[in-house]
Amino acid sequence: MELLRNQIKHHFLNQIVFRLDYEGLLEKDVEECVFNLRQKFYGADFTHMNRRAENQVDIQVKIDLNVSSDNEYMVSNTNEGWVYIFSSDSNEVIELSKNFFTLTIEVDKEYKTFDKYISLLAESIEFIKNCSPYFRALRMGLRKINVCFLKELNLASSFFTKAAFNVEEIMNQFSGFECTGSNMVTLFVKDGYCINYVRNIQKGAMQQEDGSQEPVYQIALDIDVYRESDKEIRHLLSENKSIETTLREQNKVEFEMFIKSLTDAMIKKMTEDDFECTEILGVN
């Protein structure tokens, strides 16, 4: 699988989100984290710093609108606090508060590998964890959202496996009906990680060079790999090396889910020097 990862030359990745939720930190602990980590962030090209107020009675984190309410949790936060924001010129944002630590990457045409951030994340998490003896991890997740567009919905089977988008059978079963959207959610567990496997189809329109509108189908492949509860997570965060190993394992599961969503023909196209296909848009 790692060999295949290195062979992939194209992508339709739209966003990467890493998020660690926790409790047990005070505002002074966060200030200590910011004071000690800001130089590392700056050295990693997160050269802009800001902050915003976090003032909510409770922070409710729901994994995805498509996932049932059983898969959500509450983080108590009755005191006003700050979220410190570090951003780069490349659409990368780190946020740090007494409740969470996140890295959000907006991906453009140039592919950004998660491996690039693992060392920085591990060092940051280790410091945050050691800031308070009352630190308790609630959830640690890695989410990647892949988005592309099809000119015709019946072409989905050329690029995606039936396990991912079973469009052909749906269209055959409901012959005479037009499919304008679909939400599919499957929950998995692998190697101790929970996985939200969300697939979405939405009909829309794309503006052409001449100003006309052409119908297209947006295809979203949204994969969230996570662990919950302090008991499950704490031993994974025991030291820098184990944190790095955990992040790589999460990323490995994420990639495996992604590859299992693609047909062999699509995988082959993505390993070639030039991606030449006019039937699917948004692959860089």
| pTM more than 0.75 | yes
Is the pLDDT assigned to residue 60 strictly greater than 70? Answer: no
Is residue 172 within 8 A of residue 245, CB to CB? The reply is no
Is residue 114 within 8 A of residue 250, CB to CB? The reply is no
Is the pLDDT assigned to residue 55 strictly greater than 70? Answer: no
User: What's the pLDDT at 75?
Assistant: 52
Instruction: Count other Cβ atoms within 10 Å, centred on residue 31.
Output: 14
Is the pLDDT assigned to residue 62 strictly greater than 50? Answer: no
Q: What is the pLDDT of residues 121-173, one digit of tens each?
A: 999 999 999 999 999 999 999 999 999 999 999 999 999 999 999 988 888 89
Is the pLDDT assigned to residue 67 strictly greater than 90? Answer: no
Q: What is the mean pLDDT of residues 106-133?
A: 94
User: What's the pLDDT at 69?
Assistant: 52
Q: What is the pLDDT of residues 183-235, one digit of tens each?
A: 999 999 999 999 999 999 999 998 888 888 899 999 999 999 999 999 889 89
- What rounded mean pLDDT belongs to the chain? 91
The candidate with the shortest Cα–Cα distance to 266, out of 153, 146, 166, 160, is 160
The candidate with the shortest Cα–Cα distance to 98, out of 131, 67, 126, is 131
